Amino acid sequence: MPDPVQLYQQRLKRKVHGAAFIFYTRLLFRSGWFAVEPVFTFLSSYPEAIKAQVQSLVAQGRLAEVLAKRYPEPLHEIQNDKSLYQFTQELKQRFVKSSPPVSKVCFDSKIHLDNSLGLHSFVSRVQGGKLKAKQEIRISALFKQLPFPLLKMVVVHELAHLREKDHNKAFYQLCQHMEPQYHQLEFDLRLFLTLRLLEGKAL
């Protein structure tokens, strides 16, 4: 018998869209092959009342409409590594100037949003016979296609990690200091990802 998860991944690769895809994912869930219904994949930590509202929007086919009204602006201009680096450095200079320097900022097509929004890493390189650690920030290339406020939110998230390695209270306070609407934007990003998942688009 074929592995249902492999079948699901094949459907994703074939970009099966619309009601047929939603029916297929829910069929797998109801058959016990998914621990979490796809509608809630990115919303598992939210209250049941919030998840019920999202499920209602999905059932009515209105999730895309709601997001389009909330973010009517066209795609942003940050479409390459150079502009992303400049934008990130501007935020860093404004809010976390004293934090360690970031040597590289780039979009990364290998980062999939079912695992991570971005990546903040320490990279050790040999320079002049000495081992030096540099900090890099990599952002999923999917953010080229998403509204600018969501890109800013994830950049803020990665910059906050320069000071706070863990997702603790101080970390989220710093995120909100840099972007007051941080929590709303994170929720909206999860709605966009939910929509893409239900439409069978790559994450």
To the question of pTM greater than 0.75 for the whole model, the response is yes
What architecture is domain 81-180? Answer: 2-Layer Sandwich (3.30)
Domain boundaries, the chain: 4-73+191-198, 81-180
pLDDT greater at residue 154 or residue 74? 154
pLDDT digits (tens, 9 = 90+) for 65-123: 999 999 998 789 999 999 999 999 999 999 999 998 999 999 998 887 655 555 555 55
H, E, C per residue of the chain: CCCHHHHHHHHHHHCCCHHHHHHHHHHHHHCCCCCCCHHHCCCCCCCHHHHHHHHHHHHHCCHHHHHHHHCCCCCCCCCCHHHHHHHHHHHHHHHCCCCCCEEEEEEECCCCCCCCCEEEEEEEEEECCEEEEEEEEEEEHHHHCCCHHHHHHHHHHHHHCCCCCCCCHHHHHHHHHHCCCHHHHHHHHHHHHHHHHHCCCCC
Beta strands across the sheet bearing 102-108: 102-108, 130-140, 118-127
Q: Considering the chain, what is the average pLDDT of its residues?
A: 79
Residue 73 confidence (pLDDT): 87
